[in-house]
Amino acid sequence: MKKLLLLVLFLPIVIAKAQTSTVHIIPQPVDVKQRPGTFLLTKATVVAYAQPESRTVAEMLATKLSTPTGYTFTAKPSKLTTPGTIQLSLNSLPNAQLGNEGYTVDVSPKVIKIAANKPAGLFYGMQTLLQLFPKEMASTSLAKSSWTAPCVRITDYPRFGWRGVMLDVSRHFFSKEDVMRYIDEIAQLKYNTFHWHLTDDQGWRIEIKSLPRLTQVGAWRVPRIGKIGQLAPPKAGEAPTDGGFYTQEDIKEVVRYAQERNVTIVPEIDVPGHSMAAIAAYPELSCTKDTNTRVNAGSNFSEWYGNGKFKMFIDNTLNPSDEHVYAFLDKVFTEVAALFPNPYIHAGGDECYKGYWENDPGCKALMQKMNMKHSEELQSYFMKRVEQILKAKGKKLIGWDEILEGGIAPEATVMSWRGIKGGIEAAKLGHEVVMTPNQYAYIDYMQSDPTVEPPIYSTLRLKTCYNYEPVPDSVDAKLILGGQANLWTEAVSTLSHAEYMTYPRCWALADVYWSPKESKNWEGFIPRMETQFERADLAGINYARSAYDPIVTTTLKGNKLVASMDTEIPGLDVFYTIDDSVPGRYANKYGTPIEIPEGPITLRVITYRAGKPIGRMLTLKRDDLRKRAK
């Protein structure tokens, strides 16, 4: 009898644990309470919306549910919650805890209720509900599954108001369709800001009708394949056929698409540096006025010395002393402001080379007139003029943290990318900040060992992303609007590659920007990530499995070279060889650091889980191991 009583008492705990293992939601909700039972989706299920403002989300949900199940759902106006109903409704009395983007999802065996204060919250509640159903719900074609959702009560709301992802479409052009697909993907993860980097040295991507040469000339470059910075410059007579741009009608379509998914688009027009494409179209905008300037195709046009110091071989900066430049910018921002109905326009401000300014008579005269002592003050003057242009159009200036140099514009918002220092400085000056430090949020960086990843400047592993904390201890948390991931595309030319660089790192950062700080747990994130892998497979979304790869570090202990091996994901076995054989589960199993003998030695390392290979094999020669020794 005692044993039976213990079994009865123990059984609910087992059931609860089993159900918990199936609730794998990204980002992690604030509160999930599980209950016995499931809701079964059938062809008789009704998708209902209680208010007209809920209709758009209800129609989206009906479409999402119809595609993989094969059932034909349509959204219907109804306040009734009869059995078999999925109802979306706006709270008649706003719930202060939920704010504008929070929601509740209540799943019982008979009814599912999604409630929120605003349609944005319903949209995010829908995303959570879809993740409660089996992974096959993510399929883009007819699939087979039980179509059940566990009974839960979820209360959820975001930690930060700015949850962004930046896509650079200047270095490589992405079609309108690709951009909309990318927006749809990040919206499913509850990101609400799409930072669209539209102009740079390698291309001007937005139609400005009053300045047609910006796209006639600035959107096109000579075709080149290879690593940017190492490609040949244009040859005489070579046709600029590589590129593209978005018409204003394209922009309007993308903006509407994003708005339906609760995504605000922040356009970036990068000035005064990074302006080679604009100068190729209108050479008179620069100090040198070089009519031979072309849109850069990936050739080396700069030399970097460290600590942010560099020299440009080609003038890619707008002339801050020329009033025609500000007339040009007024035309650009007039049209940009009309296309994007959000408060911000990003004006860049980063990596502006001032050498050409320092030698320009007009700039020297302006410095003397304004009693400037350093050329950084010229950029401050420029950005303050830009702020006034934007303010006249009802927009706020946001820029990279270089806009602090020489004196920040009075009402500017700072995007801190060179670590967190600029963000701290801006916040202490009373400015709002978006935290996007390169060592935590630059998703163009390698995800694993340089021997198995396309090489680029640095490495950013998934666990590092996940462990990021956007609010420094020394600042007022209210001034940290949030953060974002940045995908620069110097080495990324296709949407598939963009997805590979974005996921799973943007799954990790979704937790960082949405979920409570207290709920972060790396080991708990792993099963949610692995469920997301399965959903992505069915949705046709590319992603990286780099987190399974082994990590090899080396040290010198006297004359001895010692290799240590580790993994990001706990519970993996690491096997290695140094005898030129291929490692497998019968090879040496790593336990403690090993000495790498002298001679032509090659270390090969691979990870296994449950007796099967799971990570990529690293092949490292002794000389390479010696170079990475600390």
Each residue's pLDDT tens digit, 171-202: 999 999 999 999 999 999 999 999 999 999 99
Walk me through the domains of the chain, giving residue ranges and CATH numbers. 2-156 (3.30.379.10), 162-546 (3.20.20.80), 549-627 (2.60.40)
- Helical axes 495-502 vs 505-514, angle rounded to 10°: 50
Separation between Cα atoms, residue 190 and residue 193, nearest integer Å: 9
**Is it the case that residue 530 has pLDDT exceeding 50?**
yes
Separation between Cα atoms, residue 245 and residue 6, nearest integer Å: 68
Average pLDDT in the chain? 95
- As annotated, the active-site residues are 200, 274, 351
Beta strands in 492-601 (DSSP E): 550-557, 560-567, 573-577, 588-589, 594-596
Three-state DSSP class for 365? helix
Cis peptide bond N-terminal to 223, omega within 30 = no
Summarised one tens digit per residue, pLDDT across range 296-344 is: 999 999 998 887 789 999 999 999 999 999 999 999 999 999 999 999 9
Three-state DSSP class for 621? strand
Percent of the chain with pLDDT over 70: 97
Average pLDDT over residues 59-83: 96
Confidence (pLDDT) at 9: 41
Phi, psi torsion values for 94, nearest 5 degrees: -55, 140
Band of pLDDT at residue 4, cut at 50, 70 and 90: very low
Summarised one tens digit per residue, pLDDT across range 33-64 is: 999 999 999 999 999 999 999 999 999 999 99
Separation between Cα atoms, residue 364 and residue 262, nearest integer Å: 47
Confidence (pLDDT) at 387: 98
pTM: 0.95
Percent of the chain with pLDDT over 90: 93
End-to-end CA distance of the chain: 64
